[in-house]
Structure 1
Amino acid sequence: MIQADFHRREFADGEELAHGLADWTAERLRVAIAAQGVALLIVSGGKSPARFFELLSDMELDWTRVAVTLADERRVPDDSPRSNARLAREKLLRNRAAAANFTPLADVRLPGDQELAAASARVAHLPLPADVVVLGMGDDGHTASWFPGADGLAEAMDLGARQLVAPIAAADAGEPRLTLTGRVILRARAIALEIEGEAKLATFAAALEPGPEEAMPIRAVLRRAADRLTVFSAKQT
């Protein structure tokens, strides 16, 4: 088993988890603003974050000093129901958090190479390193858009990746995607991993066992950033 020095917080269900994660995130953003004048929050898409986003959106802090971007994005229009940017705008960037400064990743109006260059330039202008990165995990052990078997996966997960943003294409990823690389995610000051349900807890337990990172990319976070990782888990969704 991986000897990872991460913190772990366990909750009865997904509702309690969402409250705990929102409080934890807001407090770290407040600390960052007090120390630096600004804070950078990186969030993920999927189904699990919706409750967390809604709670965080009404947390009391100076949202005008918070920059928000995405850990990854599908190459789909902003109004697509599969767009992470749409989810963030509808669930997070409202209430008090409407004052935050949001930087999307994808822009499908551009050709692929231009879209990647534009995304990389936008991320480079954010106040890195990130103060908080909130990640999810798939049943296959992927996180962000680091999918097992994806072309360019090793480079995308690399702490010293040449790029801040990488293109990802994998059989299980559906649409082509853009993802932040290990150069951004693994250098964050604090990382949260949200895990809900028995199936994902089983996947997480498997990820703690020895094995290649390419087979279960969440291992890259567990092995290279465990000292800054807090796992938020609940058996019930």
Structure 2
Amino acid sequence: MTLTLAKPQRREFADGAALAPAFAQWTANLLQKSVDERGEALLIVSGGTTPKRFFAALALSAIDWARVTITLADERCVPDDNPRSNARLLRETLLRDHAAAARFAPLADSRLAPEQELAAANARIADLPLPADVVVLGMGDDGHTASWFPGADNLAEAIDPGARTLVLPMRAPGAPEPRLTLTARVILRARALALHIEGADKLKTLERAFGPGPIEEMPIRAALRETAGRLTIFSA
């Protein structure tokens, strides 16, 4: 991949409580701008524990949610009611209050056989108003983002901006369950991206990711290097 000379913008906060409303306002402003200009907006978010306060704050934003579609950057292949389901997390924390009016396009469907589930996921993403207006990424202590894990079986294709598909299955030593993940063809083409990280350990991981080394070793480097001019880092 070609390195870019642009650098991400950085917004730093004292703690997660201060970060959440500012990040929510930034996201809401971009979504409403897209609705005003294009008549619709697409938001792609990540799961995990870090974004819960951000989701709660974003759900309270009074924008035209009826014209916003939300989907996930990745999903564990588990039933919707499983505590580790990202879809369940969104329904409990984001798809409520004002944001209950948004359209949600889930990534996984555990009722289907794996091959059918993958085909259905690709069809759902292809039907969305791409490119995404905002992609919100997280980062693990190993430098993964979405389900782009170091050592994952389909990592090389997942981080390729010219990937043949929009969604790939992913198995990795650092992931207990099989997963579905959006590829770089979707994530890296977004109009705006945000990286949300909290905690001293994550900040140390981020500084390592800014250093030299292959993207496969710390896949968050794909976003840091390929989308820097469109990327804002929100950290606490």
In structure 2, C-alpha distance between the alignment counterparts of 1:18 and 1:143, rounded to whole Å? 20
Aligned counterpart, 1:105? 107
Alignment of 1:37-116 (within 5 A): 37-116=39-118
In structure 2, C-alpha distance between the alignment counterparts of 1:209 and 1:57, rounded to whole Å? 36
Percent of aligned pairs with the same residue? 67
* Structure 1 unaligned blocks of 5 or more: none
User: In the TM superposition, what whole-angstrom CA distance separates every residue of 1:74-115 from its partner, at most 9, and x where no partner exists?
Assistant: 000000000000000110000010000000011111111110
TM norm structure 2: 0.97
Which amino acid in 1 is paired with 2:19?
A: L
Which amino acid in 1 is paired with 2:186?
A: V
In structure 1, C-alpha distance between the alignment counterparts of 2:109 and 2:222, rounded to whole Å? 28
1:15 Cα shift?
0.8
Aligned counterpart, 2:166? 164
Which amino acid in 2 is paired with 1:209?
A: G
User: In the TM superposition, what whole-angstrom CA distance separates every residue of 1:102-133 from its partner, at most 9, and x where no partner exists?
Assistant: 00011111111110000000000000000000
Aligned counterpart, 2:192? 190
Aligned counterpart, 2:203? 201
In structure 2, C-alpha distance between the alignment counterparts of 1:90 and 1:206, rounded to whole Å? 34
Q: Give the length in aligned residue pairs.
A: 234
Which amino acid in 1 is paired with 2:221?
A: R
* Structure 2 unaligned blocks of 5 or more: none
Aligned counterpart, 1:174? 176
Cα RMSD for the two superposed structures? 1.1
- Equivalent of 1:154 in 152, 156, 180: 156
In structure 2, C-alpha distance between the alignment counterparts of 1:33 and 1:3, rounded to whole Å? 31
- Equivalent of 1:124 in 121, 126, 134: 126
In structure 1, C-alpha distance between the alignment counterparts of 2:213 and 2:18, rounded to whole Å? 32
In structure 1, C-alpha distance between the alignment counterparts of 2:169 and 2:228, rounded to whole Å? 25
1:152 Cα shift?
1.2
Aligned counterpart, 1:229? 231
> The residue matched to 1:22 in structure 2 has which SS?
helix
1:148 Cα shift?
0.2
Aligned counterpart, 1:8? 10
**Structure 1: which 4+ aligned runs deviate by more than 6 Å?**
none
> The residue matched to 1:142 in structure 2 has which SS?
coil
Which amino acid in 1 is paired with 2:118?
A: L
> The residue matched to 1:214 in structure 2 has which SS?
helix
User: In the TM superposition, what whole-angstrom CA distance separates every residue of 1:173-222 from its partner, at most 9, and x where no partner exists?
Assistant: 11000000000000000000001000000000000000000000000001
- Equivalent of 2:22 in 14, 17, 20: 20
